[in-house]
Structure 1
Amino acid sequence: MRGPRPARLNNAKTGGLKITLGEMRSTGVRDLIVFCQDYRCGHNVKLSAAQVDKWPDEIRLSQTEPRFACKACGQRGAILRGGSEATMMAVSQ
């Protein structure tokens, strides 16, 4: 029996192509929040600017989402959001 299909670059779950890291950085946002793709899990982790700055500007958020795996439930695939102040406050509540 096969496992679940890998996430595709242009699928409904990820919302298609997302901005590049360079475009995100140009708005002043340098942190990322990685959410588990499984809404039932709800696990998330913040990647600091020091970690994210190692990646090149040309990488799209949608290109990296399928590469993450949740440490809490093992689900492959993630939803990436810029770690703006508003997003950080919403996640911490």
Structure 2
Amino acid sequence: MPETVLFKSESVRSREEIAEYLHSVADSLAAGGEVTLSSATESVAIDPPERAEFEVKVEREGHPDNPEKSIELEIEWHEGAEGDADGDLRIE
């Protein structure tokens, strides 16, 4: 089945602004219930299950003389199902 993008936002932000946004998402996740993501033109509410798959990926891509690095944080679950993800993930 093809992927359907429900929400996308891309902008240049300071490290502090990015951290504030991630804190807001984390607080919403910790509180349980729906998490609402909004931009100037769109909004989506999601309701992740109590347990879900969490992926962290750091990539380097592009031309070797000017590579681009990225950090991707992904939470994935099947709608209507509880996840059973395990793993040892730490931020140091």
Q: Which structure dedicates a bigger proportion of its chain to helix?
A: 1
Q: Which structure dedicates a bigger proportion of its chain to strand?
A: 2
**TM-score bracket for this pair, using the shorter chain length:** under 0.3
- Structure ID, larger Rg: 2
TM-score scaled by length of structure 2: 0.26
